[in-house]
Structure 1
Amino acid sequence: MAGALAGLVLGSIVGAVATIAGSYFLFWRRRRAALAHLRRAFETELSALSYIDEMAESGDYETLTQAVEAPVVYESNADDIGHLSGDEVEALVAFYTDLYWLDDQPDIEDKKERVHEIAEKRQRAVEVLRENE
């Protein structure tokens, strides 16, 4: 009787541990997939914003301030950005903060150096995202 009771308790414990381990594995796998999708979304948006580099390089600053588009991925996923690595968060926030600054500028002629820094920050964000894939 005691052996049957011990077997029942042991079976329950093993079953509980297996359930917890399986649930954690599924959670971890889903989280990893969600982060991969988030990184790809940011990479796609940053690639679409490559015109910033081209316009900065050609010196077309006035058109650039008028051509800046709202960063849809960044705005839609602001709550989830904290799940990325510290380097990714830093690079993305630095770029998007400057992108908002660029959008608010009526006259950019005296701030040309900062425009080139924005292009560099975009490239840095892309590099950091690709490193963490």
Structure 2
Amino acid sequence: MNIALDFLSIFIPAIIGVFGTFYLYKKRRTDQQKSLRQSFLAELREVQLLQQWPIEDRTTPKVRFASNAIYENNAGDLSLLDDDEIEALVRYYTRLQIALKII
């Protein structure tokens, strides 16, 4: 009986520790995903290409009308996002880089 009690006194805290650590890991990862998504959305909302670039006048913007700072600073964290999100972001920022080189 004493051996069973010793086993349970070690096993139960170990299980609680494992599940607690896993929960904290998942929460931190979810928070990172949420923060990354919000950062990209904020940067994409700032881009109002058609409002700042009068197409009818065929002029080029005098200021950098788009930023890729969030993408450059978080490229290593893209794996936190879904595959569709990653593909869309890479496609958008690749096209943005091409547009910025042309201008």
Q: Same fold (TM over 0.5)?
A: yes
Q: Could you state the TM-score of these two structures normalised by the residue count of structure 2? A: 0.86
Instruction: Output one character per residue of 1:40-86: Cα deviation in whole Å (capped at 9) or x when no partner.
Output: 11000001112x13356x41654148634441111110000111001
Q: Is the 8 A contact 2:52 2:65 kept in 1?
A: no
For residues 4 and 76 of structure 1, the distance between their equivalents in structure 2, rounded to whole angstroms, comes to 56
| Structure 1 match to 2:51 | 54
> How far 1:31 moved relative to its partner?
1.0
Q: RCO greater where, 1 or 2, for CA within 8 Å and sep 6 or more?
A: 1
Residue identity (%): 28
Q: Greater shift after overlay, 61-70 or 41-50?
A: 61-70
For residues 41 and 55 of structure 1, the distance between their equivalents in structure 2, rounded to whole angstroms, comes to 22
Root mean square deviation, CA, Å: 2.0
Distance 1:53 1:87, change over 3 A: farther
For residues 67 and 14 of structure 1, the distance between their equivalents in structure 2, rounded to whole angstroms, comes to 59
Tell me, which stretches of 5 or more residues in structure 1 are unaligned? 107-133
SS in 2 for 1:63: coil
Q: Could you state the TM-score of these two structures normalised by the residue count of structure 1? A: 0.68
**Deviant stretches of 4+, over 2 Å:** 53-56, 64-70
For residues 77 and 104 of structure 1, the distance between their equivalents in structure 2, rounded to whole angstroms, comes to 21
For residues 27 and 19 of structure 2, the distance between their equivalents in structure 1, rounded to whole angstroms, comes to 12
For residues 61 and 100 of structure 1, the distance between their equivalents in structure 2, rounded to whole angstroms, comes to 20
| Structure 2 match to 1:15 | 13
Instruction: Kindly indicate whether residue 91 of structure 2 is the aligned counterpart of residue 94 of structure 1.
Output: yes
| Structure 2 match to 1:38 | 36
| Structure 1 match to 2:64 | 67
